[in-house]
Amino acid sequence: MKRTAIFLFATLVFATQPALTDEQVKTRPPELELRVKCGPPVDQGEAEGKRCRAIPILGGTFEGPAIKGTVLPGGADRQQDDKELGVTWLDAEYDIMTDDGTKIHVRNQGVMGKEGFFRASPVFTVPPGTPHEWMNHAVFTCTLTPVQDGVRLSVRKVARSRMLEDGGTGPYRAIMMEVAGFAEHTVFRPIDLSPFNEKKPLPVLVWGNGACANSPIEHAKFLSEIASHGYLVLATGIYPETDKPYRGPMSCSAQQIESIDWAFAQNADPKHEFFGKIDLKHICLAGMSCGGLQALQNCADKRIAAVMICNSGLFKNPAIAMPNMPMPRKEKLRDLHTPVIYILGGKPDIAYENGMDDFRRIDHVPAIAANLPVGHGGTYMHPHGGEFGVVARLWLDWQLKGDETAAKMFVGEDCGLSKRKGWTIERNAK
């Protein structure tokens, strides 16, 4: 299948335009510029082999086309020198006050390296109902210029992004966004990555779409909700700029493998904001309908730790499949090497027979079949992904986070799912 090289980055008018490079982003007018006055560094000894210091934030000013105010004193930039990687990690936290009286919290994590390299991603927490609330829903980067008594930060919005349903019901407000250099993929992630690190990394959900669509728009609420519970979701397909149904070329199974490759590359790159924040030992491969077939086609990949098949299953009769759909034979199920769940729409689901036939054939890995009789469309477009969103997220919590409370939804004759209205559950002997 011919792949269209569409690079999605910055605020573009047409999806087929190339992404702005980092240098091009720097030439765009900033959303705001901060002049931050800093005090002398305070040495704080060593921690985990890194030299630590704190730079007090004494005050300052900021201004942009639609915002202006002062930097409040009392914050600090906590830095760690990483000799092994040859970089300095930055973590600045402080408050700013707009001229209209809105107090905004700023958390700016980043890295500074050799030859002038600098990357930082400020996150703004703005009270709801204020004129600046839009800052809660965007992803930013900034450049740094040393000045006589501190630094000047130029803050720019770097990607097309949208926050769906106020960021989800989980503890981490999630955002849907495009990423430069990650063509024909959409990322769902917590907007603030500061809670995540090597000790608390983000598990990964790799997703393929129904009808093998090259856009995740019909599953966006479902995927955003999962991300809000502390997941990095890498969905096949072009960033959906609007809520209109996708009409375009189909995706291909290789895009899921590209997602896994991307996660490994970003986690290993100190210049990327996901460096050291991705849980590469806990990756779930998943998809709905045709996307589920893509996941099964890729299920032999040894980097995955779980498989979730939604409204899908390998065809008992491949002759009736849609053109260009992946069509593995039933023998492909032997390639499964992880726990697997089939989340189906009950007998009204056109994939029910295929999915249940898969489930009954799987006897070498733990398998679950969960059914809610809502048909093939599932509940993905319901608020926060509806019932499918709840069940999928709890299964991921169990499999990828080891959450024993979530496991109670699926384990035992009296499990939580068996009591949930409309649901039925079957498990194999494994």
Do 248 and 331 sit in the same domain of this protein?
Answer: yes
Query: Per residue in 189-239, pLDDT tens?
Result: 999 999 999 999 999 999 999 999 999 999 999 999 999 999 999 999 999
What distance, in Å, lies between the first and last C-alpha atoms of the chain? 38
Confidence label for 5 from pLDDT (cuts 50, 70 and 90): very low
Residue 26 included in any domain: no
Q: Over 60: is that where the pLDDT of 276 sits?
A: yes
Check residue 13 and give its pLDDT: 26
Chain segment 49-99, per-residue pLDDT in tens: 889 999 999 999 999 999 999 999 999 999 999 988 888 999 999 999 999
Residues 351 and 261 in one domain: yes
Neighbours of 397 (CB within 10 A): 21
Q: How confident is the model at residue 4 (pLDDT cuts 50, 70, 90)?
A: very low
Q: Count CA atoms within 13 Å of residue 130 on its CB side.
A: 19
Say whether pTM exceeds 0.85: yes
Q: What is the structure's pLDDT at 284?
A: 98
Phi-psi category of 26—alpha, beta or left, where left has phi over 0 and alpha has psi -120 to 50?
alpha
Single residue among 157, 172, 191 that ends a domain in this structure: 157
State pLDDT tens for residues 145-182: 999 899 999 999 877 899 999 999 999 999 999 998 89
Q: Which residue has the higher pLDDT, 109 or 270?
A: 109
Q: Are 181 and 218 part of one and the same domain? A: yes
Is it the case that residue 408 has pLDDT exceeding 70?
yes
Question: pLDDT for 358-370, tens place per residue?
Answer: 999 999 999 999 9
Domain count, the chain: 2
Predicted pLDDT of residue 119: 87
Average pLDDT, the chain: 91
Shared domain for 166 and 256, answered yes or no, is yes
Q: What CA–CA distance (Å, rounded) separates 139 from 157?
A: 6
Q: What is the DSSP string of 367-383?
A: EEEEE-SS-TTTTTTSG
- Specify whether 172 is located in the same domain as 147: no
Q: Residues 8, 160: contact at Cβ < 8 Å?
A: yes
* pLDDT of 305 strictly over 90: yes
Assess whether 167 and 262 both reside in one domain: yes
Give me the half-sphere count of Cα atoms (radius 13 Å) on the Cβ side of residue 357: 14
Task: Answer yes or no: is pLDDT of 15 > 50.
Answer: no
Residues 133, 176 within the same domain: no
Among residues 157, 184, 204, which one ends one of the domains? 157
Q: If DSSP codes are grouped into helix, strand and coil, which group holds residue 171?
A: coil
Residue 135 sits in the same domain as residue 186 = no
Of 138, 157, 176, which residue constitutes the final position of a domain? 157
Is residue 124 included in any domain, yes or no? Answer: yes
Residues 219 and 66: their CA atoms lie apart, in Å, by 34
Pairing verdict, β 76-82 and 50-64: antiparallel
State the DSSP code for 159: B
d(CA 310, CA 289) in angstroms, rounded, equals 6
Cα separation values, 346 from 343, 369, 391, Å: 9, 10, 15
- For residue 261, the enclosing domain spans 161-427
Q: Is 17 within a domain? A: no
Q: Report the run of H or E that residue 22 belongs to, with start and end.
A: helix 22-27
The model's confidence at residue 27, banded by pLDDT at 50, 70 and 90, is low
Question: Do residues 288 and 413 share a domain?
Answer: yes
166 found inside a domain: yes
Q: Which two tokens stand for residue 143?
A: 């450049």
Per-residue confidence (pLDDT) for residue 17, from 0 to 100: 42
C-alpha to C-alpha distance for 284 and 194, rounded to whole angstroms: 23
pLDDT digits (tens, 9 = 90+) for 97-153: 999 999 999 999 999 987 778 889 999 999 999 999 999 988 998 989 999 899 999
Which CATH number belongs to the domain containing residue 261 in this structure? Answer: 3.40.50.1820
Q: Between residues 2 and 372, which one has the greater pLDDT?
A: 372
Report yes or no on 265 lying in a domain: yes
Residue 19 lies in a domain: no
User: Is 175 within 8 Å of 254 (Cβ atoms)?
Assistant: no
